[in-house]
Amino acid sequence: MGILGGTFDPVHIGHLRAAIEMRDALDLAEVRLVPAHVPPHRAQPAAGAEHRLALLRLAVRGVPGLAVDDRELGRAGPSYTVDTLTALRAELGARSLCLLVGDDAFRGLPTWHRWQALFDLAHVVVMRRPLPPGGTDTLPAELTRFLRGREAHGVAALAGSPAGLVWQQAIPPLDVSATRIRALLRAGHGARFLMTDSCLRYIRDHHLYTD
């Protein structure tokens, strides 16, 4: 199983395509998209939890292997990933669990709450996209030291154990962001083909992301 967290404010084709790419590359039976209630590292989402959840459910409807997990929305306080993985590990037993993170999030891992415990609960799979001009893939020294000896030797190693490894999986670049979509909608412009039509209808019907 794979877990892809975020604010999904709103969910867009970049999120969906990344989930599908990882489902296929890692041969995962399921990738769960987990919307955060109170994100620890960014501002509170523009849309309420009930709307972001409804949009996610619309977005994954009919997509094999994609599902929505709303457990963080029911928890008070910051939406710490370690708490989510702890709950999932209790449910999954010794089954393999993969935490899917982007490049930027991975480089910032030492700032996460109890970040080292994440590897006791899941594998960490980095979704690697080509670096932008001037970008860097240098990791913090603390993270580099911690990862020594944890590199998976192929995708099959992830399925062969419940947790503890790191794997870097290249995925095609897709230049779509929730920030841009919110800006387009606030300006009264269309966002078709950046989101599913069902999500766009929901946003329009509920007057989301407008001033």
What confidence score (pLDDT) does residue 91 get?
97
- pLDDT surpasses 90 at 198: yes
Residue 122: closest CA among 156, 85, 79, 69:
85
119-170 pLDDT per residue, tens? 999 999 999 987 666 666 789 999 999 999 999 999 999 999 999 999 999 9
Burial 155-192 (b: 16+ CB within 10 A, else e): beebeeebbbbbbebebeebebebeebbeebeeeeebe
Q: In this structure, what token pair is assigned to residue 105?
A: 């999030």
Is residue 39 scored above 80 in pLDDT?
Answer: yes
84 pLDDT exceeds 90?
yes
Q: Quick one: pLDDT band at residue 211, thresholds 50, 70, 90?
A: confident
Q: Select from 57, 117, 52 the least CA-distant residue to 85.
A: 117
Q: Confidence class of residue 184 from pLDDT cuts 50, 70 and 90? A: very high
Q: Rounded CA gap, 191 and 123, in Å?
A: 35
Counting DSSP H helices and E strands in the chain, the numbers are: 9, 6
Cis omega (within 30 of 0) for bond into 110? no
**Residue 88 pLDDT class (50, 70, 90 cuts):** very high
